[in-house]
């Protein structure tokens, strides 16, 4: 305790952070940079472009489904579209946006580091990601079209007999490249967080976002190599005559599902945890309170990660070849730490001063949307209910509630941190309008799909029998998709109209963590000076020394430990 209060406020100067910044400028700087902020910005722009591409695919899919015998696209094109929609959103948007874009920029700054631990590896990650994205999407320009076996590429549909053509190979290649990019980013994040923390920044003083990124990075290192191995096996089956996934050659098709989901379920949390972290910080800052249950939050994150490695077969309940009770209880248990997080988020806002900024609205929208996705996920952890709803639109609705919650959180992250790394605020009014379109659109889009699944419509159907209920629910969902599309356009409009218009200043939101202590945008090596780091809110402690967090086990107040005031 004495240690905490000895230097309640002080900021010490660092060597000139520009001392190594003699690099080129302009486009050459963008290509040759190893600065995590520039790389992160490249990631941000690329990922948002991917979001738009994946979103366009989604809008085409929804337009096709607006009538039972839609003729907008052919059956073959439809299969390509939903395959690439899922692939682009999962592999090329959500993951890279979380750990390539926002974590890349924010983690070093949040822990007071000058850069990532391996700046060149970081640059390699980005270029692998960009190359992988282009490789995967270039399938559309081949004779047979892009990959069309679904984003999960179940064997044996994905073998060379059932899916000949270069599109599938480009999909595998692109995924291998982005997979390596993710692994390198994971290595980088772990090394950075373990070795480059500023003096005073102990593990339990790291912001929740950094904590979540550490856990995410560890999950990446555990899960992605498995996917990489699986993809190599798939490629070997397609081209080198191996029979790993073929019955005829003595192989086991279900093995692909095991490998894929052993990566695929941790991947769900690789996608989600970063956004959980962002929301946690945003809720705290815009309630002007510390994160409620900070340590509980960290243990919840750790247990989600641990459990997520033992639940993959809940995607395979209907295969009839997995042990149902084990995967059921493990999956159900994930509800517990997730519930802790939701209650902690509410606790963070409780008796706070909730400021309805665009970022905060998006974060609150995230909590509600994620709650819907989480509760419906509990059904799917129960094998009998999964038999009932598996591969129907109920499942589609469930994971779209979850990923649309992540989109809300990602938007919250852009409104919250965008000013830090660009130096300029986004327009708040457009942001709030965008929020309402995105939030209402999400519910109008997903809620009918739950009912559609219960009414028996399987997923991945380009055309469907003319059932008035199916058509009505599909139409409502399409309206929701249009609203979401408008919200994305509003975001682009916002970036354009507020381009270099409202300078942000160092700390526009009265932030709590270290990134709000430096300038916006931060200098080449991030900091001119650092405050004393004596809690997980060094900037807050510096700005509001009289409003420290109240510890959970109050130390006996003596003259020595009495806080200032």
Partner 1 sequence: MESPALPPQGASTRSRRWRRVRRAAVLPLAALALSGCTVPNFGANQGDTTSSRSVFHLWQGFSIGAAIIGTLVVALVLWVVLRYRRRGDAIPKQVQYHIPLELTYTIVPILIVFGLFAATMVVENKEVANPKTNVTIDVNAFQWGWKFSYPGSSAVVIGQTTQDPTMVMPVNTNVHINLTSTDVVHGFYVRAFNFSRYALPGVLNQFTLRAVNTGDFFGQCTQLCGLYHSLMFFNVKVVTMAKYRAWLASFNNSSSASAASAANLAQRQQTSSVVPSKPYVSNGAK
Binders in 384-413 for partner 1, by CB under 8 A: 384-385, 387-388, 390-392
Q: Tell me which residues in 182-241 interact with partner 1 (CB under 8 A).
A: 237
Give me the count of residues in the chain: 565
DSSP secondary structure string for all residues of 253-290: HHHHHHHHHHHHHHHHHHHHHHHHHHHHHHHHHTTTSP
* Near partner 1 by CB under 8 A: residue from 14, 56, 232, 378: 378
* Span from 28-36, 135-143, 224-232, 313-321 in contact with partner 1 (CB under 8 A): 313-321
**Residue number, 194 or 387, with CB nearest to partner 1:** 387
Q: Tell me which residues in 351-370 interact with partner 1 (CB under 8 A).
A: 351-356, 364, 367-368
CA 96, CA 43: separation in Å to the nearest integer?
7
* Near partner 1 by CB under 8 A: residue from 40, 230, 347, 373: 347
DSSP annotation of 12 reads E
Look at residues 278, 221, 364, 271 and name the one whose alpha carbon lies nearest to residue 105. Answer: 278
Instruction: Give me the residue label for tokens 């409780």.
Output: 350
**Residue number, 120 or 429, with CB nearest to partner 1:** 429
Q: How many whole angstroms from its chain centre is CA 347?
A: 23
What minimum distance in Å lies between the beta carbon of 216 and partner 1?
Answer: 22
416 is a contact residue toward partner 1 (CB under 8 A): no
CA 447, CA 361: separation in Å to the nearest integer?
20
* CA-based radius of gyration for the chain: 24
* Span from 71-79, 398-406, 435-443, 492-500 in contact with partner 1 (CB under 8 A): 71-79
What minimum distance in Å lies between the beta carbon of 411 and partner 1?
Answer: 18
**Residue number, 228 or 246, with CB nearest to partner 1:** 246
* Near partner 1 by CB under 8 A: residue from 134, 346, 497, 555: 346
CA 232, CA 238: separation in Å to the nearest integer?
10
Q: Tell me which residues in 526-545 interact with partner 1 (CB under 8 A).
A: 544
The Cβ of residue 30 has, within 10 Å, a number of other Cβ atoms equal to: 13
Q: Tell me which residues in 72-91 interact with partner 1 (CB under 8 A).
A: 75-76, 79
CA 304, CA 297: separation in Å to the nearest integer?
10
Are the CB atoms for 58 and 481 separated by under 8 Å? yes
Q: Tell me which residues in 444-483 interact with partner 1 (CB under 8 A).
A: 450-451, 454-456, 458-465
Site string for partner 1, 431-450 (x = CB under 8 A): -------------------x
**Residue number, 318 or 519, with CB nearest to partner 1:** 318
CA 185, CA 104: separation in Å to the nearest integer?
8
Q: Tell me which residues in 127-166 interact with partner 1 (CB under 8 A).
A: 149-150, 154, 156-157, 159-162
Pairing of strands 529-531, 502-503: unpaired
**Residue number, 85 or 289, with CB nearest to partner 1:** 289
549 is a contact residue toward partner 1 (CB under 8 A): yes
423 is a contact residue toward partner 1 (CB under 8 A): no
Are the CB atoms for 291 and 519 separated by under 8 Å? no
320 is a contact residue toward partner 1 (CB under 8 A): yes
What minimum distance in Å lies between the beta carbon of 416 and partner 1?
Answer: 16
DSSP annotation of 561 reads T
Look at residues 415, 405, 334, 411 and name the one whose alpha carbon lies nearest to residue 367. Answer: 405
10 is a contact residue toward partner 1 (CB under 8 A): no
């Amino acid at each position: 305790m004495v240690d905490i209060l000895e230097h309640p406020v002080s900021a010490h100067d660092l060597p000139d952070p520009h001392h190594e910044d003699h690099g080129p400028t302009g486009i050459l700087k963008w290509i040759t940079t190893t600065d995590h902020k520039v790389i992160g910005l490249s990631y941000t722009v690329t990922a948002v472009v991917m979001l738009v591409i994946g979103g366009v695919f989604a809008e085409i899919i929804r337009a096709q489904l607006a009538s039972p015998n839609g003729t907008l696209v052919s059956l073959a094109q439809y299969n390509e579209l939903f395959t690439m929609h899922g692939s682009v959103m999962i592999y090329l948007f959500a993951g890279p946006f979380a750990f390539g874009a926002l974590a890349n920029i924010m983690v070093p700054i949040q822990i007071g580091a000058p850069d990532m631990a391996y700046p060149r590896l970081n640059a390699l990650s980005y270029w692998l990601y960009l190359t992988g994205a282009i490789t995967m999407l270039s399938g559309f320009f081949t004779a047979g079209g892009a990959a069309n076996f679904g984003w999960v590429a179940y064997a044996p549909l994905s073998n060379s007999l059932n899916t000949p053509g270069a599109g599938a190979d480009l999909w595998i290649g692109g995924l291998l490249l982005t997979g390596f990019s993710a692994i390198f980013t994971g290595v980088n994040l772990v090394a950075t967080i373990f070795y480059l923390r500023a003096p005073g920044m102990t593990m339990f003083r790291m912001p929740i976002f950094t904590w979540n990124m550490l856990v995410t990075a560890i999950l990446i290192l555990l899960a992605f190599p498995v996917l990489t191995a699986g993809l190599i096996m798939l490629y070997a089956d397609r081209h080198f005559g191996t029979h790993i996934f073929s019955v005829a050659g003595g192989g086991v098709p279900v093995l692909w599902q095991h490998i894929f989901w052993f990566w695929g379920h941790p991947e769900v949390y690789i996608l989600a945890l970063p956004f959980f972290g962002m929301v946690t910080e945003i809720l705290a800052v815009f309630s002007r309170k510390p994160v409620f249950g900070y340590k509980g939050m960290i243990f919840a994150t750790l247990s989600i990660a641990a459990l997520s490695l033992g639940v993959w077969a809940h995607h395979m309940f209907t295969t009839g070849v997995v042990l149902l009770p084990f995967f059921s209880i493990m999956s159900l248990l994930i509800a517990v730490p997730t519930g802790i997080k939701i209650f902690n988020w509410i606790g963070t806002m409780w008796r706070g001063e909730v400021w309805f900024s665009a970022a905060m609205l998006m974060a609150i929208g995230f909590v509600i949307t994620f709650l819907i996705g989480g509760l419906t996920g509990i059904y799917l952890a129960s094998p009998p209910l999964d038999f009932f709803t598996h591969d129907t639109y109920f499942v589609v609705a469930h994971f779209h509630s979850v990923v649309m919650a992540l989109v809300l959180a990602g938007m919250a992250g852009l409104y919250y941190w965008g000013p830090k790394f660009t130096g300029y605020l986004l327009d708040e009014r457009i942001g709030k309008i965008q929020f309402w379109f995105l939030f209402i659109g999400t519910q109008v889009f997903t809620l009918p799909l739950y009912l559609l699944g219960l009414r028996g419509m399987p997923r991945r159907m380009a055309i469907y029998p003319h059932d008035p209920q199916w058509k009505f629910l599909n139409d409502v969902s399409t309206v929701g998709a249009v609203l979401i599309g408008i919200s994305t356009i509003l975001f682009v409009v916002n970036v354009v109209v507020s381009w270099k218009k409202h300078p942000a200043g160092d700390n526009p939101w009265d932030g709590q963590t270290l990134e709000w202590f430096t300038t916006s945008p931060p200098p080449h090596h991030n900091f001119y000076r650092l405050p004393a780091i004596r809690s997980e809110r060094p900037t807050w402690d510096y700005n509001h020394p009289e409003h420290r967090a109240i510890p959970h086990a109050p130390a006996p107040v003596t003259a020595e430990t009495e806080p200032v005031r």
